[in-house]
Chains A and B, each alone.
Chain A
Amino acid sequence: MGKRILVVDDEVQILRALRINLEARGYVVTTSQGGDEALRFVRDNELDLVILDLELPGTSGLEVLKTIRSKSEVPVIILSARSGDPEKMLALDEGANDYLAKPFGMGDLIMRVRALLQVNVNDPSGLSTTDFTLDFVNSVATRGGEPVELTTVEWKILHVLVLSGGRLVTDRQLLKEVFGDDEPHDAAHFRHHITQIRRKLEPEPARPRYVRTEPGIGYRFYGSNASLAGQAKRA
């Protein structure tokens, strides 16, 4: 049986499009147009993922998210109305796993869904893309066949990002996973590592294809198997 996904949005056309797309990929989809109905469904059913619009009539999306988080760790993807929506940040703080601003391309959504639904990603021993290979076991990296030197911190960062398999990793999460809780870190210094990784691995460092940033929010790694759908050409 496929993974069960609840989609909450007040727009019937969006629900329809999402249902067709998700069902075509083998998921079991339930749709809901209101927050209260969605909460009832979450209470009574086992779910693997929730796609939640923030702008709902009645109980707001943020309220729904808080209630879900109070009793469940089910992954939640937030749909927000505008890219600059401050609600988006609130939702991420409240425990949403990822977000997508409307209007969005279906490829972007499917990529996020897949990333979040991966069963226990095994600790990757390595990764191979068209541009570079990474061997985490032996700490060997090549680019176009040529060996590339990566520092310890760079290996750590890449490991966290590749492990996330296309999920959004917030700045805070990444820093915590790489340096641990106690280490005081300098944001500019940390940024320098990202720049270096791009220089060493990306074919076009100024327009990164693999190590992408959502400015002010976090990072996302494109290139693992799960994220291939997201590689569909973006506008």
Chain B
Amino acid sequence: MSRGTLRVYLGLAPGVGKTFRMLDEGWRRRERGADVVIGLVETHGRKLTAAQIRDMEIVPRKAFEYRGTVIEEMDLEAILARNPQMVLVDELAHTNAPGSINEKRWEDVEAILEAGIDVITTVNIQHLESLNDVVEKITGIVQRETVPDTIVRRAEQIELVDITPEALRRRMAHGNIYPAEKIDASLSNFFRSGNLTALRELSLLWLADRVEDSLKKYLDDHDIQESWETRERLIVAVTGSEGDEALLRRAARMASRTGAEILAVHVIDSGALQQRTADTTLARELTVEFEGTFQEIMDEDVATALVSFARSERGTQIVMGSSRNRKSIKRSGTVEKVLRQAHDLDVHIIAVGGEKPKRTWRRRKIGTYPWQRQLSGIAAAGVFLPLITWALASVRSNVSNSTVFLVYLVVVLGVASWGGVVAGLVAALAASALENFYFVRPLHTFQVARPDDVVAIVAFFLFAFGSNILVNLFSQRSSEAERARAEAEILARAAATVATTRDDLVPLLDSLRAVFAVPTVALLELREGEWMTELASGEEFDPAELNARFPIDDEHVLVMAGASLDNQDRQLIGAFVGRVAAGIESQRLAQESAERQAAIETDELRTSLLRAVSHDLRTPLATIEANVSSLLQPDVVWSASEQNNFLQAVNREVHRLTRLVTNLLDAARLESKIVKPRVVEVALDDLVASALETIDSQGRVFDIDLADDVPLVETDPDLAERVIANIVSNACRFGPPDQPIRICGGATSEGVELLVIDRGPGIPEKKRVAMMASFQNLSDERSGAGLGLSVASEIMTLLGGELRFEDTPGGGLTVAIDLERED
């Protein structure tokens, strides 16, 4: 027998018309001669849907009795016995009543399909397992009933019952979906237009099987977890010239169109011989005005630094100015270079008038030495070369020319290694000239008599110059190696840090500060619109003065004071920032999930509370009503003793209700944590006596045995009394009526212990923990006991004591209440 086919009507929300469509399709098949029956249809009281059933055969539902109510479920066995060609089954994700063959309706459907019967079913998008989380995030509503995606995906046909959110809301408002009293609340909750749009898109995505790759984007787009990465970022290259204003204003206009963020950057050319003090004040002010951030970086290659900065900051577009002043060759060169390198970035070149930059400078590629050092190298050459020349000249007869050349070479290398390539070159040229003038014949002329001397001088120069370059390369490499080592170290440390708390990040800040030799590194957090220092390493600082800011996310920024950072530094810090961001994110997620968990638990609590309490409330109310209405009957004249009986019963039930309501109120107050214990010194026997006065002992005998030397206890008398009353009350309820309940107490090494001992059935050890959970009931007969116990246990936690459960030797339960003793 071949498996039946499955057809699924997928809806984005309740009320889109799935059931209607299912019935419609059923009728279409039936009119074509198929044997179609209804396995189960939920009309939810919707008239149009009910009318659509018409006279189609319905397999009667099966009734289950569960906790006093009758639940009707689809009768799987009857359907299989009926064996039609096709069954219509509504709400695939439904959970069956306990006692059914399968736990879930989709399992029933599987069984029907296995039997070779075709099934048409309906399911809502929020019930798909894989979308459960997302839907919860969108709507804030927890869906408990889910169906595995694979079950739905296996369907031969999935049809989306599509409807625009507006149309659905209209239908809702007309009362076609829910009864009138539920409409307003539903429209403002689940049926919010935004929700419906989101659910609709989600449905379409799921159908296209593109949820996985679209999910992230989807969540971002819908601000479900706003992420800074998704915002467009305009990198604006400012130069400190007058064109900056035009450039920034233009960029701001572009940004406002796309909602982008402005990131102005000033690249200081570290290769410039003359250190530039460009005036970026205006650019900074404008950037702040446009709500952007301003950064300064230093690099010898302006174009590369700019593009690399844009990438590391996840910029999407670069905006830079182009001067029409063609003399500014360097600028246009930079523009071209940026254009060549920015493959995936949009580059906007804005004409910014003809003014020259405030200062022009010659740029020379001369290694990484600061100009002061280079000048001092040249000066050293100016001192040492004449000195050596004088010394060698005075002993000229005793030394060969090769010695002279070697001594000069030592000086040149010394100068080169101190002052860099330029100083080395100057020294090499000067040394060659001095050799020629003072030591090569004919002396004191720049002429050279012998050809091999020409070769010697040229070789000297080449050798000196070559060594100069090698020395420089070597020192550059070694400083790079030093830096790489430091970087590796900080990255390793960052990677090894498990940032479970904020303070875990402090060592990272310390090492950053050390590596970049800056006075301060700090982590700022945006709180109520102001940047507050969350963590800091180093000196005190004024947040306004920190010149390098690295955004971590919308609410956190890493700031460093006192450093101009080059591009390589930024990359390292970028990696670090990534680590910090991950730490902060994981802390946030942990917090969120804890909150969500708490919300779910509260929800579950409410449900079980309602279940437990409705029974306990109804019973005394019913008794009271029966007795009071008897008294009010006009047709009977009750005797005094009969009246008294009625009134006694009412009185008893009122006390029962009072106890229950007190416990409920206590539970609620404890839950909301508004109870503040008022701790005083009280006597244990007073607590017991006054607790016993509040309970209905049902004629039970108490065997009270409190030691003479029991110290006073330090506790809140009202709360402690509630604990004792609840525990004794339970003992009365479950202990056999003919056995006394023993209450004994005495001092222990730590405090005072009160034991309430019953001879009832006891509680198995494994159930004891569960019993303490709020509103947990052991069984239906025990209903209400759980509430009292849970209140007692919550109160004990509040009082800093403990409730312990032990077996009574010979059978029964012993509850130990630990109280604090006076000092």
Q: A residues near B, CB below 8 A?
A: 82-84, 86, 89, 103, 187-188, 191, 194-195, 206-208, 212-217, 234-235
Contacts and interface: CB of A to CB of B under 8 A. Distances in A.
A216 B704 CA distance: 21
- Most-contacted residue by chain A among B651, B685, B692, B822 (CB, 10 A): B685
B709 to A, nearest CB: 10
A89 B694 CA distance: 20
Interface string B692-724: 111110000010111010011000111111100
B130 interface: no
Interface stretch (B3-11, B177-185, B400-408, B673-681): B673-681
A102 to B, nearest CB: 9
28 contacts: A83-B718, A83-B722, A84-B675, A84-B718, A84-B719, A89-B678, A187-B822, A188-B681, A195-B708, A206-B689, A206-B702, A206-B704, A212-B689, A213-B683, A213-B686, A213-B690, A215-B682, A215-B686, A215-B687, A215-B690, A215-B717, A216-B680, A216-B716, A216-B717, A216-B718, A235-B655, A235-B693, A235-B694
Contacts of B678: 86, 89, 216
Contacts of A84: 666, 675, 716, 718-719, 722
A214 B696 contact: no
B433 to A, nearest CB: 100
B298 interface: no
A152 to B, nearest CB: 21
A86 B678 CA distance: 8
Contacts of B721: 83, 215
Given A89-B678, A187-B681, A195-B685, A83 B662 contact: yes
Contact of B683 (A82, A86, A191, A212): A191
B629 interface: no
A206 B694 contact: no
Nearest to B654: A103
Give chain A's interface secondary structure class.
loop
Given A188-B712, A213-B690, A215-B682, A103 B658 contact: yes
A82 B665 contact: yes
A212 B685 CA distance: 11
Given A86-B676, A191-B712, A206 B717 contact: no
B561 interface: no
B680 to A, nearest CB: 5
Give chain B's interface secondary structure class.
helix
B688 interface: yes
A228 B718 CA distance: 26
A169 to B, nearest CB: 14
Contact of B689 (A187, A213, A216, A235): A213
A235 B725 CA distance: 13
B692 A207 contact: yes
Interface residues of B, number: 40
Contacts of A214: 690
Nearest to A216: B717
B718 to A, nearest CB: 4
Given A83-B722, A206-B705, A235-B695, 17 more contacts: A84-B722, A103-B658, A187-B822, A188-B822, A191-B683, A195-B685, A206-B685, A206-B688, A206-B704, A213-B683, A213-B686, A215-B682, A215-B720, A215-B721, A234-B693, A235-B655, A235-B696
Given A234-B693, A235-B696, A187 B712 contact: yes
Contacts of B665: 82
B367 to A, nearest CB: 78
A187 to B, nearest CB: 5
Interface of B: 651, 654-655, 658, 662, 665-666, 675-676, 678, 680-683, 685-690, 692-696, 702, 704-706, 708, 711-712, 716-722, 822
B423 to A, nearest CB: 84
A68 B693 CA distance: 33
B687 to A, nearest CB: 5
Nearest to B705: A206
A108 to B, nearest CB: 11
Nearest to A102: B658
A191 B654 CA distance: 34
- Most-contacted residue by chain A among B654, B682, B705, B718 (CB, 10 A): B718
Given A86-B678, A214-B690, A194 B696 contact: no
A84 B704 CA distance: 25
A171 to B, nearest CB: 9
B715 to A, nearest CB: 9
A191 to B, nearest CB: 5
A37 B666 CA distance: 33
- Most-contacted residue by chain B among A89, A188, A191, A216 (CB, 10 A): A216
B799 to A, nearest CB: 12
A38 B655 CA distance: 31
Nearest to B693: A234
Contacts of A206: 685, 688-689, 702, 704-706
B682 A216 contact: yes
A82 B658 CA distance: 11
Nearest to A214: B690
A206 B692 CA distance: 10
A127 B23 CA distance: 87
Contacts of A86: 676, 678
Nearest to A219: B686
B676 to A, nearest CB: 7
Contact of B711 (A82, A188, A207, A234): A188
B68 to A, nearest CB: 29
A187 B676 CA distance: 24
Contacts of A235: 651, 655, 693-696
A195 B683 contact: yes
B50 to A, nearest CB: 45
Contacts of B693: 234-235
Nearest to B680: A216
A74 B721 CA distance: 32
B718 A194 contact: no
A215 B679 CA distance: 11
A187 B391 CA distance: 105
**8 nearest interchain CB pairs?**
A216-B717, A215-B717, A206-B704, A84-B718, A213-B686, A215-B682, A235-B655, A216-B680
Contacts of B680: 216
A83 B822 CA distance: 24
Contacts of A83: 662, 718, 721-722
A56 B167 CA distance: 50
A234 B689 CA distance: 13
Contacts of A191: 683, 712
A146 to B, nearest CB: 22
A208 B651 CA distance: 23
Contacts of B687: 215
- Most-contacted residue by chain B among A82, A84, A103, A214 (CB, 10 A): A84
A212 B719 CA distance: 18
